[in-house]
Structure 1
Amino acid sequence: MFFQRKDVKEQKIEELLLENYNRYYRLAYSYVHNEADAADIVQNGAYKAIRNSDSLKNVEYAQTWIYRIMLNEIFQCAKKKQMVSLDELPTEQGQEDHYENIDLKRALDQMNPQDKAVIELRYFEDMKIEDIAKVLNENVNTVKSRLYRGLKKLRLELTDAWQWE
């Protein structure tokens, strides 16, 4: 009987996927707002990460590499959802978490996906700006600009929302 040995990269990727599954799921859910879609995104991302583990150049960057794969899956799913007419979507009443900030969630949903990703990775996933730049394959200064511009937009949106209450 032959056993195929896993290489170091594949082992590290599997380890990170298991350790951070909930983080990837929360990130996906924050975009698609559907449990099944979020689970599919994470499953597809995990499959792609394991399948392509040999293309990872440096094991030290496995975490950011996996985040990049997950964000690509999220953006791909979000594009597919945008093509579906809002009239065709079923409404799920009573599904919102009572502990979350609905105004913040709505304001984030109005942002473009790249700005939203920067804010969520920084403040909800507690990633460093340099790591976010690697995940998004962007310059550190671009990430900083997106972050500050996005925070300014959020502040304006939330101020407007709170003024009308």
Structure 2
Amino acid sequence: MGQLLMLRRSKNNVSDEDIIKKAIKGDKDSINAIINENKEYLYKTAFLYIKDEEEAVEVCQETVYKAIINIHKLKNPKYFKTWITRILINNVNDRNRSQSKVIYDIKALEEVEDISYEKLEEKIDLYNAIDILEEKFKTPIILQYFQDMTIKEIADVLECNENTIKTYIKRGKKKLYKILMEGK
């Protein structure tokens, strides 16, 4: 949790929603607090899609910029994370369409955790398999398994029915399994 957010809570017992409401009204400290609280989440999500540190940072910067200039459009403060995730995914998709290639930063993968060469290869195979998936399967899988979002949260982000998301995840996992088995 961001230091500023913790400081504000300890002084005023202010909730996340209250801070987001203040941010919507233009309070700069509140905007900084919610961005700081979510910056690591945004980076990790962007990196899962892009797999390049610099590109992920750029996408995060674009996302934060768009969120700041459009925060007044956020109708319900409790959906802030859903809203900013949607902006991030749109930015990632725009970037992927314009570049249409994926760069793997093996060094970054090794830094994420101390893993053996075999585990690293498995992780790369998994990322490659995920990249092959159609977008409708890829996004729900990344959001559920890499960002620990619930089915409801994913449905909100993607503006889909929860049952549709469940179907996409189930079919996506089957496709991933098939891709990974064909590669062996």
TM-score category by the smaller chain?
0.7 to 0.9
Q: Match of 1:113?
A: 135
User: Is 1:27 matched up with 2:45?
Assistant: yes
Match 1:65 to one of 49, 62, 83: 83
Deviations 1:92-126 (A, max 9, x none): 78646244411111111111223211001101110
Letter in 2 for 1:136: L
Match 2:109 to one of 97, 120, 124: 97
Task: Give the secondary structure class of the aligned counterpart of 1:97.
Answer: helix
Q: Tell me if structure 1 keeps the 8 A contact 2:144–2:151.
A: yes
Q: Match of 1:8?
A: 22
- The structure-2 alpha-carbon separation of the partners of 1:149 and 1:47, relative to structure 1 and needing over 3 Å to count, comes to same
User: Is 1:77 matched up with 2:77?
Assistant: no
Task: Give the secondary structure class of the aligned counterpart of 2:109.
Answer: coil
- TM-score of the aligned structures, taking structure 1 as reference length: 0.81
Q: Match of 1:41?
A: 59
| Structure richer in helix, relative to its length | 2
> Gaps (5+ residues) in structure 1?
1-5
In 2, distance between residues paired with 1:30 and 1:7?
A: 30
Of structures 1 and 2, the one with the larger relative CO (CA 8 A, separation 6+) is 1
User: Is 1:124 matched up with 2:149?
Assistant: no
| Number of aligned residues | 151
In 1, distance between residues paired with 2:94 and 2:104?
A: 23
In 2, distance between residues paired with 1:40 and 1:107?
A: 24
> Gaps (5+ residues) in structure 2?
1-19
**Identity of matched residues, %:** 34
Cα offset, 1:7, TM superposition: 5.4
Q: Match of 1:159?
A: 181
In 2, distance between residues paired with 1:115 and 1:160?
A: 19
- The structure-2 alpha-carbon separation of the partners of 1:132 and 1:153, relative to structure 1 and needing over 3 Å to count, comes to same
- TM-score of the aligned structures, taking structure 2 as reference length: 0.73
In 1, distance between residues paired with 2:104 and 2:90?
A: 26
Q: Tell me if structure 2 keeps the 8 A contact 1:129–1:143.
A: yes
